[in-house]
Amino acid sequence: MPDLSKITCIEDLRVIAQRRVPRMFYDYADSGSYTEGTYRANQADFQPIQLRQRVAINMEGRSTATTMIGQHVAMPVAIAPTGLTGMQHADGEILAARAAKKAGIPFTLSTMSICSIEDVAQHAGPGFWFQLYVMRDRDFIERLIDRAKAAGCGALVITLDLQILGQRHKDIKNGLSTPPKPTLANLINLATKPAWCLGMLGTPRRKFGNIHGHVKGVTDMSNLGAWTAGQFDPRLNWGDVEWIKNRWGGKIIIKGIMEPEDARLAVDSGADALIVSNHGGRQLDGAPSAIHALPAIVDAVGNQIEVHMDSGIRSGQDVLKAWALGARGTYIGRAFLYGLGAAGEAGVSKALEIIQKELDTTMAFCGHTQIGQVDQSILRPGTYPTA
The residues annotated as belonging to the active site are 279
Q: Report the alpha-carbon distance of residue 249 to residue 51 in Å, rounded.
A: 41
Q: Is 57 strand, coil or helix?
A: coil
Question: Which residues are paired to 157 by β-bridges?
Answer: 131, 253
* Cβ-proximal residues to 187 (8 Å cutoff; 6+ apart), any chain: none
* Cβ-proximal residues to 206 (8 Å cutoff; 6+ apart), any chain: 86, 114, 178, 179, 200
Neighbours of 1 (CB within 10 A): 9
Got the DSSP string for 337-373?
A: HHHHHHHHHHHHHHHHHHHHHHHHHHHHHTT-SBGGG
Question: What 8-state DSSP symbol labels residue 59?
Answer: -
Closest by alpha carbon to 252, among 130, 141, 155, 131?
155
My answer on whether omega of the bond before 179 falls inside 30° of 0, hence cis, is: yes
Question: What 8-state DSSP symbol labels residue 63?
Answer: B
Q: Is 309 strand, coil or helix?
A: strand
Q: Cβ distance 34 to 285 under 8 Å?
A: yes
Kindly state the helix (H) or strand (E) to which residue 158 belongs, with its residue range: strand 155-159
Q: Report the alpha-carbon distance of residue 61 to residue 84 in Å, rounded.
A: 40
